Amino acid sequence: MTEEARRTRTAFVKPRLIAGNWKMHLTATEAAAFVRAFRRALPPGVDADILLIPPFTALDAVRRARRDDDAFGLGAQDLHWEPEGAYTGAVSGPMLKDAGCRAVIIGHSERRRLFGDTDADVNRKLKAAVRHDLAPILCVGETPEERDAGRTEQVVGTQLRRGLHDVALDQLAGLTIAYEPVWAIGTGQAADVRQVEAVHASLRAMLTAEWGAVGGDARIIYGGSVSTHNARDFFGSPEINGALVGKTCLDPDGFATLCQFASSA
Ligand code: PGA
């Protein structure tokens, strides 16, 4: 596939990406109701790429509830690097693609911390995602101890380099990096916008230094307690190309409000 063809198939096109990571919430039945409520809440003409990222069991329910003219797409929370095989409990890239996904989260800190995903696993998963035309959302972020030790940029830089190790340049179109400080996730304590800007700028500089044009094309979004109270501060910054949202995305009205803020920022 040519780079142009790949870009057209996987790249996001709007100024900002708002991705709602449902984590382990909502049954398939609840998911269908969510889609109906979210559609009602979302104002017409919202100018943002929007992803609903439900658990695997609700992917089909969201796809069925979705209409062709809906302004949101579907993503997955994780994938296995093999296309198929004896991997009990795992889901592969081709399965996600067939389920209607266009993107997949890779290396979320909960996967790293609770399920033991290493940087090498993250790298294998990222390569599998691009192989199957799923836009990767690569998560990086430091722990509170690493932040306090002044190691944030070093930690996220290492995660970035290892995550993208040996990935062909032409496969990186459509890449999104989600900077998610571990201490900000699910705590109600979002990072400071200026600090986020500094980390994003360092990630972009690293991308540009090592992968050239990819650095300019990649989206760098922020995640960690983004809410209707603080989202406008983040979306007001040119360094912050959107948000990966946990808790607030489970409320259809709140998530629609975030999408509206992202559109008008
Ligand atoms: P949060 O989760 O918005 O609940 O902090 C963000 C995430 O884990 O992606």
Atom of ligand 1 nearest to the CA of 225: 5
CATH code of the domain covering residue 79: 3.20.20.70
CA of 19 to the centre of ligand 1 (A): 10
pLDDT band at 10 (very low <50, low <70, confident <90, very high): low
Buried b (16+ CB within 10 A) or exposed e, 208-226: eeebeebbebbbbbbbbbb
**Residue pLDDT, tens place only, 164-184:** 999 987 888 889 999 999 999
| 84 flagged as catalytic | no
- Beta bridge mates, 106: 138
In this structure, which residue's CA is closest to atom 6 in ligand 1? 246
- Residues within 6 Å of ligand 1 by CB: 21, 180, 185-186, 223-226, 244-247
- The pLDDT value recorded for residue 240 is 97
Give the pLDDT confidence of 57-70 residue by residue, as tens digits: 999 999 999 999 99
Q: What is the per-residue pLDDT across 72-81, written as a single tens digit (0 to 9) for each?
A: 999 999 999 9
> What pLDDT is stored for residue 159 in this prediction?
98
pTM of the model: 0.94
Q: Is the predicted pLDDT of residue 30 greater than 80, yes or no?
A: yes
**Residue 15, both tokens:** 């100024």
Please write the tens of the pLDDT for every residue from 192-227: 999 999 999 999 999 999 888 777 789 999 999 999
3-state secondary structure 223-259: ECCCCCCCHHHHHCCCCCCEEEECHHHHCHHHHHHHH
pLDDT at 227: 98
Distance 147 CA to ligand 1 centre (A): 18
With CA atoms as reference, report the closest residue to 150 among 221, 113, 112, 199: 199
Task: Please tell me which residue in 80, 110, 180, 200 is annotated as part of the active site.
Answer: 180
Range in 50-64, 81-95, 200-214, 250-264 with the lowest mean pLDDT: 200-214
What is the span of the domain harbouring residue 66?
Answer: 3-264
Please tell me the residue having the least CA distance from ligand 1 atom 1: 246
Active site residue 165: no
78 alpha carbon, distance to own chain's centre: 10
Which residue, 84, 89, 171, is CA-closest to 134? 171
Exposed / middle / buried, residue 145 (Cβ in 10 Å: 0-12, 13-18, 19+) = exposed
pLDDT at 215: 74
* Annotated catalytic residue, options 80, 108, 132, 200: 108
Å from CA of 226 to ligand 1 middle = 7
Number of domains the chain is built from: 1
Identify the CA nearest to 196 among candidates 160, 245, 237, 161: 237
Other beta carbons within 10 Å of 36: 11
- Of 115, 140, 196, 247, which is best to mutate to test ligand 1, by the most ligand atoms within 8 angstroms of its C-beta? 247
Please give the average per-residue pLDDT across 12-22, as a whole number: 90
| Ligand 1 centroid distance, CA of 106 (Å) | 14
